[in-house]
Structure 1
Amino acid sequence: MGDNQLIDTLPVILLEPNQLNLFKVAKAIARIASSCSPRLRYRIGNEAQWLPRLRAILPDKLFRFGARKRLNLP
């Protein structure tokens, strides 16, 4: 297996940008590495888990407003 194929098969981990908990990430990576059939994506942290749900139920304009406010953007 070449390097590119290996990189393509690695799971994607979505992290909270402002609240990175290294212990939580390390624990998840250990669990993923020991899994027989790991998923392609893992969400670690509260924001990473709730943002997709909020985006699905909130109107686009309200979601964008909240995201801008959370990221301190104009």
Structure 2
Amino acid sequence: TYDIYSHASASTAKLWLAQNLTVSLPSIAQGFVMNGESAGDESGYSASSAGDVNGDGLDDLIVGAYQADPNS
């Protein structure tokens, strides 16, 4: 599980998700939670700003899960 909180001035948020990643987003003011596919996959072990990867004008986020099995 990886918790991310927005700044109070944030008015919009977008999140592009990897396969099998779930997100609970009650309110952007409260932040959001991302859960990896399986316990022990170490989802959230690393996280970084990615810049604007998809060209939509918003910075994107990379979240690593180094123990995840891409074949499961």
The structure whose Rg is larger is 1
TM-score by length of 1: 0.26
Q: Which has the higher strand share?
A: 2
TM-score by length of 2: 0.26
Q: Which has the higher contact order (CA 8 A, sep 6+)?
A: 1
